[in-house]
Structure 1
Amino acid sequence: MKKFTLSLLIMMLTFVLANPAFANESYDQKLDSLKGEVVYKDDEITVTSFGNDKEISDMIFNHPNSVVAEDEDENIIKPLASAIGMGGRASIVAGTSGRVVYWSVNPNTKWPYNFMGTVKLRYHSGFKRDAPIGGMGGLGSTVAGKVTMNKNNGGVAYLRGTAYALNGSRYHVLPRVHESFRPN
């Protein structure tokens, strides 16, 4: 009876510990199935825009691997895949394949805006690549997209950019928004 109880306990503990891994996998499958418009492509990267679909942006922002922090304490330095500040929210999440990085931006404006930015890819090999990203939105909408790498040996992706609202206001992505991606 003790062996059966111990085996059952170990099995239940395994399910509890493995459950978050399966949650991440389902999120990644949903993200991988998204279709968007290819806005730039070359031998190394492909940049795809999802437009201003709030559901897609929320899926990126609410990803289980996304570490969120409020912009309250500027003295703490830590990696952030997502950040919320006075200017809005921004997220960047690496896919499990190591070849894709998803991004999402939601400026804190009710005016139509144009977001222009860059996903800075910094590989562990020392190679650097900047992927131009952007989109237009309005009335509290979000813009989102992905950058697909044809090959890599791991590194870090940084999200940078500014949303320019029709009323003349500017909303910058917080400088600490970045995510590591694994080699494939």
Structure 2
Amino acid sequence: MKKLFVMSFTVLFSLILAVPAFASAEPQNLDDLSNLGEIIYQDDEITVRDFGNDPVISNIITEDPNSVIAEENAGIKPQVVGPGGRAVVTAGDYGRTIYWTVRPNTLWPYHFEGKVKLRYYSGFKRDAPVGGMGALGSSLSGAVHMNKNNGGYATLTGTAYSLDFSKYKVLPGAGTSF
């Protein structure tokens, strides 16, 4: 019995010591997100990544000082008032990556279908399809990385469809310069 106790104590103690080491591997800012997530689309011009419904990544995108937040409730950051929940868009990686996150006002699981509309100053236009499944009251996040950037404006549009047959559209004004 003593050997079993000592062995289980050793295993638990080693897990306690290992957790802080693994915690430091989590992303801390937008630059750490550049290679995370699953690539859902890639061509010569853009790479679209899905971060899923990880709350840590959603908070990093939301807390970035350059984020544009469109939500129903008033707050500190620039906003657009309307129904539907929260949509956040920010440019990172020197304007080459557009990060986005959405959180519809639903407690039901949902499916989000949307686009990040890229409008370059040169007149070139490109729409990147984004989306995914969100869990109960969670946020959904992703990124669009541009291989070339001559500057422009990115807008997030789309709709979340919940299991109770409700629709939640992304608010107008969820966009940023890159």
TM-score by shorter chain over 0.5: yes
User: What is residue 50 of structure 1 aligned with on the other side?
Assistant: 51
Give the secondary-structure state (helix, strand or coil) at the position aligned to 1:90. strand
1:157 aligns with 2:142: no
User: What is residue 3 of structure 1 aligned with on the other side?
Assistant: none
- 2:69 and 2:87 in contact (8 A); partners too: no
* Aligned-partner residue type, residue 153 of structure 1: N
Give the secondary-structure state (helix, strand or coil) at the position aligned to 1:139. coil
Give the secondary-structure state (helix, strand or coil) at the position aligned to 1:125. coil
Give the secondary-structure state (helix, strand or coil) at the position aligned to 2:133. strand
User: What is residue 132 of structure 2 aligned with on the other side?
Assistant: 135
1:30 aligns with 2:32: yes
Distance 1:56 1:40 in 2: 20
Shift of 1:105: 0.4
Distance 2:163 2:145 in 1: 31
Distance 1:41 1:123 in 2: 19
Distance 1:161 1:69 in 2: 13
- 1:163 and 1:171 in contact (8 A); partners too: yes
Distance 2:138 2:155 in 1: 22
Deviations 1:26-66, CA, capped at 9 Å, x for gaps: 7333333x510000011111100001101111111111112
1:112 aligns with 2:112: no
Give the secondary-structure state (helix, strand or coil) at the position aligned to 2:114. strand
Deviations 1:111-163, CA, capped at 9 Å, x for gaps: 11000000000000000000000010121011100000010200000000000
Structure 1 residue ranges without an equivalent (≥5): 1-25, 74-78
* Aligned-partner residue type, residue 109 of structure 2: P
Shift of the 37–126 alpha-carbon distance from structure 1 to 2, 3 Å rule, reads same
Shift of the 84–91 alpha-carbon distance from structure 1 to 2, 3 Å rule, reads farther
Q: TM-score, normalised by structure 2?
A: 0.76
Distance 2:124 2:146 in 1: 13
Give the secondary-structure state (helix, strand or coil) at the position aligned to 2:29. helix
- 2:132 and 2:140 in contact (8 A); partners too: yes
1:175 aligns with 2:172: yes
* TM alignment of 1:11-22, pairs within 5 A: none
Structure 2 residue ranges without an equivalent (≥5): 1-27
Kindly, what percent of the aligned residue pairs are identical?
A: 58
